Amino acid sequence: MRKQFFIFGITFLLLSIIITYHYKYSIFFPLTVFALILLGIANSFQHKHAILRNFPLLGYFRYLFEFIAPEIQQYFIERSTDGKPFSRNQRSLVYQRAKNIDATTPFGTQLNLNHADYEGIKHSIYPAPVNEELPRVIVGGPDCRQPYSASLLNISAMSFGSLSENAIVALNKGAAKGNFYHNTGEGGLTDFHLQGGDVTWQIGTGYFGCRDDHGNFSAEKFAVKSNNPLVKMIEIKLSQGAKPGHGGVLPAAKNTEQIARIRDVKPFTTILSPPGHSVFSDAKGLIQFVAQLRELSNGKPIGFKLCIGHTEEFETICQEMIHQNCYPDFITVDGAEGGTGAAPLEFSDGVGMPLEPALIFVNKTLVRFDIRSKIRLICSGKIISGYSVLKAVALGADMCNSARGFMFSLGCIQALRCNNNQCPTGVATQDKMLMKGLVVTDKSERVYHFHKNTLHSANELLAAAGKKSFSEADINIFMRGDEFKKLSDLYFPDILGNALKE
């Protein structure tokens, strides 16, 4: 194609010069053609991009189509039940509830119910009254001196830096109005998180906000910040579902003075968030760290978050709790399907245990060690609707955290640009111009309504199952398609036979 480019390019340039000279047109047109030819010549001799080397100008269309491919897929190709990680129907549900408008759908389900993967609730023909009061859970084990009454649904960990300051402020103001907590993420406790909403302060491997000059944990800094009245709980992050076992890197160019001040690091230097903690390296050290943070925070609820990998490691942690007679007040179980602003594809697709088996395993393990009553279980991983909340509770959770659900309530359109600072809705970006599109006063109301309406939906589903409280919910209220996959072969002959005899 390079040969054809030079032939047609030079021919077209000569024609443009002749036409311009003959008809006395502006010289702008031939100059434009000449500039394009120079660009094509440069592309023909560069060694970095094979497409542009072989197709000096037409090759740019490949990059254009690649750039707009997510929008083409989302708006012109995918069906209402398609879309990953969340379908159009799921996103629309959040948008409607966040806007506090009718969230009903017409004409019946679009799902294939006659399929082994179908899941549904076994409703009762004697439904219970719908509880209009939103459910709450007391967090605080035997050693906790400041128990916290938490909502059943809360905002999962999302750091400032990953999200914009407008997004963080809107989330916290919505949490304040709805009386639920807002997890800071491992990026540290910021002024944007302290807008009046309850806060769970997450302590990651970088100890941002409570580290010394060498990057080690600073007990003194932690003690000061953890005793802020708005900080209700502290969560030690062991691993994250979307990238368990992987640390993060904050490039020097992104480490602004504002972020450096928040994270207690030097500005304009590359900051590493290592895969593991430096304070401890085994179960014994983890439980001792739990006790230390509880003491420094004057008895506030302390817990840890993890994605399950080696199951025996969690069993060892349980044994160490019993040995030290020290128990976390809560454990957050993150599923491998959880979200993140940026992660290597291999970690997102191939590391960690999904939420359902992980939650079942953790719950049953705590029961087996006879310590379940001392610890609250929180789960996170694609919690987006009343159905997903009820299902998580039925699998063993006491509470749920949602990240992407609340991002949708802020206006996220699943553009899949969280990792390149080009989020078009101003949610996951530090671009000041894009950030201005997110109006805090409007979006905080949407956060509040999404939380309220989602929990109301969970209450309605619970009542439809004939249950009066979430403590009565268990896995027996759910059915799966593989239970009746061969319904006609297994059941109908006997049932029909008995009916005919009668």
Instruction: Please write the tens of the pLDDT for every residue from 356-393.
Output: 889 999 999 999 999 999 999 999 988 999 999 999 99
Angle CA 356–361–363, to nearest 5: 95
Q: Is residue 286 part of a domain?
A: yes
Is the CB of residue 272 less than 8 Å from the CB of residue 199? no
Q: Compute the CA torsion angle 434, 436, 442, 446 (nearest 10 deg).
A: 30
Average pLDDT estimate for 78-95: 72
My answer on whether 149 and 261 are in the same domain is yes
Look at residue 63 in the predicted model and tell me its pLDDT: 67
- Residue 478 or residue 370, greater confidence: 370
215 pLDDT band, cuts 50/70/90, is confident
Q: Report which listed range, 50-54, 309-313, 480-484, is most confident.
A: 309-313
My answer on whether 403 and 286 are in the same domain is yes
42 pLDDT band, cuts 50/70/90, is confident
What pLDDT digit, counting tens, does each position of 266-323 carry?
887 777 778 889 999 999 999 999 999 999 999 999 999 998 989 999 999 999 999 9
Tokens of 180: 């639920």
Is the CB of residue 336 less than 8 Å from the CB of residue 351? yes
My answer on whether 50 and 142 are in the same domain is no
Q: Is residue 226 part of a domain?
A: yes
- Residue 46 or residue 333, greater confidence: 333
Whether the CA torsion 457, 461, 467, 473 is positive or negative: it is negative
My answer on whether 34 and 150 are in the same domain is no
Separation of alpha carbons 401 and 37, rounded Å:
55
Q: Is residue 492 part of a domain?
A: no
Separation of alpha carbons 384 and 195, rounded Å:
24
Q: Is residue 228 part of a domain?
A: yes
Average pLDDT, the chain: 83
Q: How many Å separate Cα 211 from the centre of its chain?
A: 26
Is the CB of residue 270 less than 8 Å from the CB of residue 251? yes
Residue 501, pLDDT above cutoff 80: no
Q: Is residue 101 part of a domain?
A: no
My answer on whether 263 and 382 are in the same domain is yes
2 pLDDT band, cuts 50/70/90, is low
- Please identify, among 77, 94, 116, the residue that sits at the C-terminal boundary of a domain: 77
Residue range of the domain that includes 17: 2-77
Share of the chain above pLDDT 70, in %: 81
| φ, ψ of residue 352 in degrees (nearest 5) | 100, 160
Average pLDDT estimate for 105-113: 71
- Give 152's contacts (C-beta < 8 A, 6+ positions apart): 134, 135, 136, 137, 389, 393, 399, 400, 455, 458, 470
How does DSSP assign 241-262, residue by residue? TTSTT--EEE-TTT--HHHHHH
Name the DSSP letter for residue 76: I
Name the DSSP letter for residue 160: B
What pLDDT digit, counting tens, does each position of 246-272 carry?
776 665 656 778 878 888 788 877 777
Q: Half-sphere exposure of 395 toward its Cβ, with a 13 Å CA cutoff?
A: 22
Residue 153, pLDDT above cutoff 90: yes
Separation of alpha carbons 161 and 421, rounded Å:
10
My answer on whether 302 and 375 are in the same domain is yes
Tokens of 218: 């600073």
Average pLDDT estimate for 76-90: 68
Angle CA 369–372–373, to nearest 5: 130
Average pLDDT estimate for 149-166: 91
My answer on whether 71 and 145 are in the same domain is no
My answer on whether 151 and 11 are in the same domain is no
Question: How many helices and strands, by DSSP H and E, does the chain display?
Answer: 18, 14
Whether the CA torsion 279, 159, 336, 421 is positive or negative: it is negative
| CB crowding 63-86: b at 16 or more within 10 Å, else e | eeeeeeeeeeebeeeeeeeebeeb
Q: Is residue 96 part of a domain?
A: no
Q: How many structural domains are present in the chain?
A: 2
My answer on whether 195 and 298 are in the same domain is yes
My answer on whether 393 and 255 are in the same domain is yes
Q: Is residue 102 part of a domain?
A: no
Is the CB of residue 470 less than 8 Å from the CB of residue 153? no
Helices (H), 76-192: 88-98, 165-178
Look at residue 24 in the predicted model and tell me its pLDDT: 65
- Give 128's contacts (C-beta < 8 A, 6+ positions apart): 462, 463, 465, 466, 467, 468
Element (H, E) at 406: helix 404-410
My answer on whether 251 and 385 are in the same domain is yes
Q: Is residue 487 part of a domain?
A: no
Tokens of 50: 């094979």
- Residue 145 or residue 64, greater confidence: 145
What does pTM read for this prediction?
0.81
Look at residue 352 in the predicted model and tell me its pLDDT: 74
Separation of alpha carbons 384 and 437, rounded Å:
24
Separation of alpha carbons 362 and 397, rounded Å:
10
- Residue 292 or residue 417, greater confidence: 292
* Tokens 């992050």 sit on residue: 237
Q: What is the CATH number of the domain that holds 249?
A: 3.20.20.70
Cα distances (Å, whole numbers) of residue 193 to 148, 157, 188, 315: 18, 12, 9, 34
Share of the chain above pLDDT 90, in %: 45
My answer on whether 143 and 47 are in the same domain is no
